Amino acid sequence: MGVTVPEGLKEVLNLIGVPYPDVHTDGMHQSAADHAQAQSAADTSATQAHDAVARTIGPDSPAYTGDAADAMGGHSAQTDQHVTAAHNAISHIPGVITGAAKVVTSGQVAMIGIAAVTAVALVRNSLIGGPFGPAASAAQILESRAQAEGVVAAADEGTNVTLSKILERYVNGPLRDLLEKLRLTPGEEPLTATGPTGTLPASDTRLAADSSRKLTTDSLEPNKGEKLNSWRRGGGSGGGGGASSGASAEEAAKARRLAELEARKAQAERSARGSVSGFFHEEFTREAARLQEEINRLRGA
């Protein structure tokens, strides 16, 4: 069961002017466990799908051979890369949720201690009497308020700065990049899966060796690949419109990417200005500079 602020001490926190939200962390821990369980089930399904493809195009299977098997192997390998990138991103979510729960619990424990000490001090000062009792009580309230505000600031930095930065770098950012790669325009590079964790197992050596091979149009019909490339360059019927449409799609993708980078840069600058820690201020400033360099490169392309 999570730590909560007792009702009596909530009134003390209201008295010193720093009410603290009574957040129940049991649900946060349960959410982290649910995420981990769902991820485990998804990993199992992805591995089973990979193995099924490997068995289908394996050397002992007569169903798919030649170019058809190579094409299926290439598509399966690319799907494995996408799944691995998503796996690497969402694997950090349970840790972030657990970290947030720990920050909340630590803050509530600290606030309970401040409220208890303040309550005892106020009772003691009320027994003094004369002009010194109210003065001592006022001084105690001001001191407790400063301490409570420090706890709130630390909790805010732990969640809104540290944890949000981890979430952005390891979860949101990679997932956005993955979605951008899944919206590839003609001529762009396919996704290369990278990450701090491993990749999905490749039990079939043929699938792993031929993962980069794809079915070309030349293998389906002689000279068809050259015809398709000529049409893309605008050499075929309606080629001018096709080239214009392709250019428009590339410009739209470039504009979307620029808007995303500008938004991330603005967020990094706001975080740098609002950071109470010199380390995080430097980190966010460096991130904003890196994003600006990427924006400049994209605009000059």
Q: Are residues 31 and 130 in the same domain?
A: yes
Distance CA 225, CA 217 (A): 5
* pLDDT > 60? residue 202: no
Count up the domains in the chain and report the number: 2
Query: For residue 228, what pLDDT band results from cuts at 50, 70 and 90?
Result: very low
Q: Which of 56-60, 103-107, 211-215, 233-237 has the highest mean pLDDT?
A: 103-107
Q: Which residue has the higher pLDDT, 109 or 160?
A: 109
45 is in which domain, residue-wise? 1-184
Q: Write phi, then psi, for 64 (nearest 5 degrees).
A: -125, 120
pLDDT digit string (tens) for 269-301?
A: 876 676 545 555 676 788 788 888 888 888 886
In this predicted model, which residue has the larger pLDDT, 275 or 31?
31
Last residue of a domain, one of 184, 210, 235: 184
- 234 within domain boundaries: no
Does residue 8 sit in the same domain as residue 148? yes
Report d(CA 256, CA 188) in Å as an integer.
15
84 in the same domain as 159: yes
Q: Are 190 and 184 in contact (CB under 8 A)?
A: yes
Nearest to 16 by CA among 155, 125, 103, 116: 116
User: Among residues 184, 200, 229, which one ends one of the domains?
Assistant: 184
Domain identity same for 160 and 262: no
Question: Could you say which of 154, 184, 214 is where a domain stops?
Answer: 184
Q: Please check whether residue 103 lies inside any domain of the structure.
A: yes
Residue 220 forms part of a structural domain = no
106 pLDDT exceeds 80?
no
Q: pLDDT tens across 10-28, in order? A: 677 777 776 666 666 666 6
The answer to whether position 8 is within a domain reads yes
What pLDDT, on a 0 to 100 scale, did the predictor assign at position 212? Answer: 38
Task: Read off the CATH number of the domain in which 142 is found.
Answer: 1.20.1270
